[in-house]
Amino acid sequence: MYFQLTDEQKMILDMTRKFAEEELKPIAEEIDREHKFPTESVKKMAELGLMGMVFPEEYGGAGMDYVSYSIAIEEVSRHCASTGVVMSAHTSLGTGPIYYFGTEEQKKKFLTPLAQGEKIGCFGMTEANAGSDSAGTRTTAKLDGDHYIVNGTKNFITNGREADVAVVLVRTGEHKHKGLSMMIMEKSMEGYSVGKVEDKLGIVGSSTTELIFEDVKVPKENLLGNEGEGFKIGMHTLDSGRIGIASQALGIARGSLEESIEFAKAREQFGQAISEFQAIQWMIADMATRLDAARLLTRRAATLKDKGDVRFSKEAAMAKLFASETAMWAATKAIQVHGGYGYTKEYPVERYFRDAKITEIYEGTSEIQRLVIASSLLRQK
Amino acid sequence: MNVAVIMKQVPDTEALIKVAPDGSGYVKEGVKFVMNPYDEFGVEEALKNKESAGASEVTIISMGPERTVEAIRTGLAMGADKGVLLKIGDDEYTDAMGVAKALADELKAGDYKLIYCGKQAIDDDMAQVGPMVAQLMDIPCVSVVTSVELSGDKAVCTREIEGGKEVFEVTLPAVIACQKGLNEPRYASLPGIMKAKKKPLDIKDAKLEAAKSEIVKWENPPERPAGRILEGDDPAAKAAELVKALREEAKVI
């Protein structure tokens, strides 16, 4: 079990690394400073096939495997974590459910424009009262003839402002879990509006918003799967999404490591480069080791997902948990290596620190990941 | 109209190059190899010709060791149709004339109206192979080209010269050696990367003559000495001291 990349994966790594260095790096600071959605970058990524990597070519995707997808998200996030989450949320959360659970008609109508990056997708699960407790969803969908009437408010939705299509968790029945269903909604539907846009600590290039539904008429044909399958679809979607976020965290951690190495070699104190000091060397060694470990966990989860017929929830949770905690730790150490300079906007590490924190929270907090892992282990006798 | 791009695989411009302890070459282990950046302009121009000027097929031809196929595949992923590797063993073969002869033989076997290459390779900076190939094929060569306009069997090429530009009109076939600014090479798209493995890539043993020139030794450039700061309060005195140092020590004026 040695993770050798295939020739194609190596080419994808080279291409996305080059793209990130030439297109994303030069504007990352501006995106952060101005809280700008990376519209131009997303357009270029769509042209290269990066906004629908894992979906089949017949639906406008690039037909890639999840390991390639993980590589691409890491490369993008190395220079711009905001762009990385836009890509991951759009692909795994916004488009994934339609691919895995949609009918042929739903795929033709929604999957293709999303995979081609012509439309942006988002995942409407979280509510003010339903974060970790996602089954606490109160948004309702009442069947009325040939359509559902949806009422409620979603909150903290990544890509909320830009999304044309939203895959939304709604309550169609009383039972806490089995009363939930998943629906495809469109921004163009009457009564669908984007509410508050959060002013966040990090990943400020990506929009995090409320979605407000007031008597939105959603055609019956937009139900994903069957009534009552919403929670199951949600959990399946999050398993894949976790690989995406783990990959984003890898990018942030790697950025922290690379910037630290460069700074330490250049910065002199006490007559030598600070990279000569053991304290700095140990920080770099630990950053690199944890990064490698996180990457191996992430590649393993992606490989299992690619196998297709095996459960990978535990492995995906481990990858997301470890990679996110590594990113936060590495970014904190990176500022430390940079000293006072790391605390200023002149260097990118303060942005990595701000961007890293959310990876420990969204798509399942570290606490939830630990519960997923523990319950997987305690279930077995 | 068939178009060829002659390409060389070179170390990445960011790679740290170390001279081998015995001066016989540079250490290749751990070095990342890429398509010569100037050759990328050639690939891009060939692809543009295919898209809008009626070129039908783009072939990438390269001479090098086995690892060169990676660089050829990059070109295929960008959109080229075929690749040819003239394979050499692991030993260095650096004689430009020998390389040019092998490439010219391969090119003569095809029917290429346009042959693009980079103006120079960024490893040895010799800038010889393109013009040598043209000479061996008895066709014109325009180098340091920053724009190409095709019209029937002619090409109008603008080349950069010191302080200006020259505009040439050549009758095809011709060799065009590309300069930065000719175009913006495209990224390989994901569909392109997937298609690349299915495109034909011929690997042939390069037929090489005995080298007419060889590199006898590699050396590091002399260590840059530390800079010196001229002290003192009087700018005029410091200026005089600077002029003296430039004249007597650095010997540049």
Residue A1 in domain: no
Q: Report, as an integer, the average pLDDT of B166-191.
A: 97
Name residue, tokens 């691409």. A72
List, in order of start, the domains of chain B with CATH numbers: 2-205 (3.40.50.620)
How far is residue A216's CA from residue A220's CA, in Å, rounded to a whole number?
12
Rounded to a whole number of angstroms, the distance from the CA of B194 to the nearest CA of chain A is 7
Question: A330 and A266: one domain?
Answer: yes
Q: Using CB atoms within 10 A of its CB, is residue A343 exposed (0-12), middle (13-18) or buried (19+)?
A: middle
Chain B residues within an 8 Å CB radius of A12: 190, 193
Tokens of residue B30, six digits:
């751990």
Same domain, A225 and A238: no
- Which of A14, A18, A21, A50 to mutate to test binding with chain B, by most B CBs within 10 Å of its CB? A14
Q: What backbone torsions phi and psi does residue A124 show, to the nearest 5 degrees?
A: -100, 85
- pLDDT at position A120 is 98
H helices present in A102-221, as ranges: 104-106, 112-115
Hey, is the C-beta of A104 within 8 angstroms of any chain B C-beta?
A: no
CB contact, 8 Å: B194 with chain A? yes
C-alpha distances in Å from residue A34, one per residue of A28, A38, A163, A248 = 10, 11, 20, 21
Could you tell me if residue A190 is inside a domain?
yes
- The tokens describing B48, both together, are 């543009």
CB B5 within 8 A of CB B129: no
Residues A289 and A365 in one domain: yes
Residue A266 phi/psi, 5° resolution?
A: -90, -35
Lowest mean pLDDT among A132-141, B47-56, B65-74: B47-56
- Which residue has 């991951």 as its token pair? A88
Distances (CA, A) of A251 to A70, A75, A245, A257, A289: 10, 6, 10, 10, 14
Of the residues A25, A45, A48, A262, the best mutation for testing chain B's interface (the one with the most B CB atoms within 10 Å of its CB) is A48
Residue for token pair 């679809």:
A233
Chain B environment of A53 (Cβ under 8 Å): 190
Q: Nearest-CA neighbor of A21 among B14, B223, B209, B9?
A: B14
What pLDDT, on the 0 to 100 scale, is given for residue A1?
62
Domain boundary among A202, A230, A258: A230
**Is the predicted pLDDT of residue B214 greater than 90, yes or no?**
no
Nearest to A241 by CA among A121, A109, A80: A121
A225: left (phi over 0), alpha (psi -120 to 50) or beta: left
pLDDT (0 to 100) of residue B230: 85
CB contact, 8 Å: A50 with chain B?
A: yes
Any domain includes A109: yes
Amino acid at A199: D
Instruction: Kindly indicate the confidence band of residue B196, based on its pLDDT and cuts at 50, 70 and 90.
Output: very high
Q: Tell me the count of A-B CB pairs closer than 8 A.
A: 40
Q: What is the DSSP string of A12-61?
A: HHHHHHHHIIIIIHHHHHHHHHHT---HHHHHHHHHHTTTSTTS-GGGTS
> Per the CB < 8 Å rule, is B190 touching A62?
yes
Examine the pLDDT at B227 and tell me if it is beyond 90: no
Q: Which residues of B touch A11 (CB under 8 A)?
A: 73-74, 77, 188, 193, 196
Best CA proximity match to B64, nearest among B94, B97, B19, B30:
B94
Q: Are residues A255 and A213 in the same domain?
A: no
DSSP alpha helix (H) spans, B53-92: 68-78
CB A190 within 8 A of CB A68: no
Amino acid at A142: K
Q: Output the pLDDT for position B223.
A: 84
- So what's the pLDDT on residue A192? 98
| Count of residues making up chain B | 253
The alpha-carbon gap from A239 to the nearest alpha carbon of chain B, in Å, equals 24
Q: What is the CATH number of the domain that holds A316?
A: 1.20.140.10
| Residue A192 domain flag | yes
Residues A89 and A182 placed together within one structural domain of the fold: no
Three-class secondary structure of residue B75 per DSSP: helix
**Helix (H, G, I), strand (E, B), or coil: what is residue A195?**
strand
- Mean pLDDT of the B170-195 span: 96
Active site residue A276: no
Within chain A, residue ranges assigned H as helices are 7-19, 25-34, 39-48, 66-79, 81-88, 96-101, 104-106, 112-115, 230-266, 278-307, 313-338, 349-359, 366-379
Examine the fold and report which residue of A215, A230, A245 is the final residue of a domain before the chain moves on: A230
pLDDT at residue B25, rounded to an integer? 86
* pLDDT reported for residue B210: 84
pLDDT in tens, B23-47: 888 898 889 999 999 999 999 999 9
Model confidence pTM above 0.90: yes
**Same domain membership, residue A170 and residue A99:** no
> Does residue B74 sit at the A interface (CB-CB below 8 Å)?
yes
Choose among A8, A14, A48: nearest Cβ to B194. Answer: A8
Q: Which of A374, A349, A369 lies closest to A29, judged by CA? A: A349
List per-residue pLDDT tens for chain A, 381 residues long: 667 899 999 999 999 999 999 999 999 999 999 999 999 999 999 999 999 999 999 999 999 999 999 999 999 999 999 999 999 999 999 999 999 999 999 999 999 999 999 999 999 999 999 999 999 999 999 999 999 999 999 999 999 999 999 999 999 999 999 999 999 999 999 999 999 999 999 999 999 999 999 999 999 999 999 999 999 999 999 999 999 999 999 999 999 999 999 999 999 999 999 999 999 999 999 999 999 999 999 999 999 999 988 899 999 999 999 999 999 999 999 999 999 999 999 999 999 999 999 999 999 999 999 999 999 999 876
**Contact (CB, 8 A) for A52 and A227:** no
**Cα first-last separation, chain A:** 27
CA angle B57, B61, B67 (to 5 degrees): 130
Query: Which candidate from B70, B187, B197 shows the least CB-CB separation from A15?
Result: B187
Does the CB of B70 have a partner CB in chain A at under 8 Å?
A: yes
A374 and A259, same structural domain?
Answer: yes
User: Is residue A56 in a domain?
Assistant: yes
Q: Cβ B193–A63 below 8 Å, yes or no?
A: no
Tokens representing A192 are 């669908």
Last residue of a domain, one of A115, A143, A167: A115
The answer as to whether A369 is a domain residue is yes
Is A14 within 8 Å of B190 when comparing Cβ atoms?
Answer: no
Tell whether A311 and A349 lie within a shared domain: yes
**Structure tokens, B124:** 């040895």
Structural domain boundaries enclosing A301: 231-379
Q: How many domains does chain A have?
A: 3
The burial class, CB within 10 Å (0-12 / 13-18 / 19+), for A244 is buried
By the 8 A CB rule, do A110 and A184 touch?
yes
Residue A300 resides in a domain: yes
How many C-beta neighbours within 10 Å does residue A274 have?
19
What is the predicted pLDDT for the residue at B89?
84
Q: Which residues of A touch B190 (CB under 8 A)?
A: 12, 15, 48-50, 53, 62, 64
| Helix residue ranges per DSSP H, chain B | 37-52, 68-78, 96-109, 129-137, 190-196, 235-248
Co-location of A300 and A334 in the same domain: yes
Residue A144: CB atoms within 10 A of its CB come to 10
pLDDT in tens, B108-125: 999 999 999 999 999 989
For residue A177, give the CATH number of its domain: 2.40.110.10
Kindly state whether residues A204 and A299 are assigned to the same domain. no
Clarify whether residues A278 and A340 are in a common domain: yes
- Residue A2 lies inside a defined structural domain of this protein: no
Clarify whether residues A372 and A289 are in a common domain. yes
